[in-house]
Amino acid sequence: MYRSLLTFTFLFTLTQLPLVAQVATSRPVGYLVQTIPAGQTRSFSVPFDADLSSLPGTVGRLTAVGASSVENSAAAWTPGAFSTTAAPYFIRLTGGAHTGRTFRIVTPANTATRLDLANDGVDLTTLGLAIGTTTGTTFEIVPGDTLATFFGTTAPGDALVVQGAGDPLAADIVQVWGGAAWLNFYYNTTWSRWARDSDTITDPSRNDFLLRSDRGLMFTRRGATPLTLAVVGRVLATPQRAVHARSENALTFLATMQPGDVTLGALALQTADRTAGWRSSSNPADADLLLVWSGATWFSFFFNSTAGHWQRVGDATPNRDDFLIASGTPVFVQRRTAGTSTADQTISFPPPGT
């Protein structure tokens, strides 16, 4: 059973992971420990790439592309193996102009050669993906994670690593950004399942709620002692290319997937090779914003196009190019204007190790 969104796990469950198929090349392995103090809230994301699925045919080339599907004529996948909500999978593009983009595999159930995808509202045929048995865009399939697989449950043989309770006010809270508001989840020990803080006993289980690898989350520790989260995984072989909301003033909570700490200057989201149409200005009211959780409040940054550096809104210190974003820290991105193309809705974070 996979234990994390990108086959990462809390260290005490690592020995429960299955062996995975060998790959032709090895990649550096990263390690991150983050501690959430009792009574405090922290932002969190896993800054590593997924391990490959142990199922057959997890690397290959695209031989056909539909509006919301892809095919590999040589795959010989087990029908339905990648299409269950309790054990989600993603396809990551590893070649071509869209290297680093990921799409969730969804229903209808995959066939021996076809995967249906959640396409983020983009017709995949417009991306110009190469197809062919020898020239097609390369991909890999990686296991995803849910609230239950990442944080555990109280089911026999499982281990709940957070504090659960019959009342959300007494339980640890996992917050996922829903696009306009936070979705708050906790483990209900009375119902023996994950739930939203607004759920009643008749509402469905939230065990299978998806945790996306390219998104961040907030975690509030209600336990009396600090909670330490430790994760391991492969350092990305490609840049993290994430889709974000590009309607006016929309916010998207993104994982940067950086295996080490990175400065605002090195992140360089204002450059054309990172973000199409990033809006810079000497006036923060007219500029796109990057928001980082400090542990107590949100710090808002903008790129001052006149001064040529990053600044924090309302900060007396003008140049914040050296402001450090720790590994595993997600960021909110707020675009001031709506986008008009696929490129306008994609952010490319720096390649790992740069």
Contact 297, 240 (CB under 8 A): no
Give the residue-averaged pLDDT of 176-205. 97
With cut-offs at 50, 70 and 90, classify the pLDDT of residue 342.
Answer: low
Predicted structure pTM score? 0.88
Of residues 331 and 339, more confidence is placed in: 331
Does residue 253 share a domain with residue 184? no
Distance of CA 50 to the CA centre of its chain: 11
- The pLDDT score that the predictor gives to residue 26 is 54
Does residue 272 share a domain with residue 223? no
Is residue 287 in a domain? yes
Does residue 297 share a domain with residue 341? yes
Distance of CA 91 to the CA centre of its chain: 13
Domain final residue, candidates 143, 167, 197: 143
Distance of CA 22 to the CA centre of its chain: 24
User: pLDDT of 125-143, one tens digit each?
Assistant: 999 999 999 999 999 998 8
Domain final residue, candidates 181, 200, 233: 233
Does residue 270 share a domain with residue 185? no
Question: In 3D, which of 64, 59, 137 has the Cα closest to residue 97?
Answer: 137
Is residue 353 in a domain? no
Cα separation of the two ends of the chain: 33
Sign of CA dihedral 169, 85, 142, 1: positive
Distance of CA 288 to the CA centre of its chain: 21
The DSSP line for 80-97 is: TTT--SSS-EEEEE-SST
Does residue 155 share a domain with residue 123? no
User: pLDDT of 209-242, one tens digit each?
Assistant: 999 988 999 999 999 999 998 888 888 888 888 8
Question: In 3D, which of 288, 333, 335 has the Cα closest to residue 311?
Answer: 288
* Average pLDDT of every residue of the chain: 87
Per-residue CA distances from 203 to 120, 160, 198, 200, 251 (Å): 27, 21, 9, 6, 28
The Cα 185–Cα 289 span in angstroms is 27
Is residue 270 in a domain? yes
Does residue 183 share a domain with residue 76? no
Counted domains in the chain: 3
Quick count: other Cβ atoms within 10 Å of Cβ 19? 6
Is residue 323 in a domain? yes
Give the residue-averaged pLDDT of 189-198. 98
Residue 280: domain span: 238-348
The Cα 154–Cα 347 span in angstroms is 38
Does residue 91 share a domain with residue 29? no
- The pLDDT score that the predictor gives to residue 317 is 83
Does residue 31 share a domain with residue 170? yes
Query: Does residue 21 register a pLDDT over 50?
Result: no
Does residue 285 share a domain with residue 242? yes
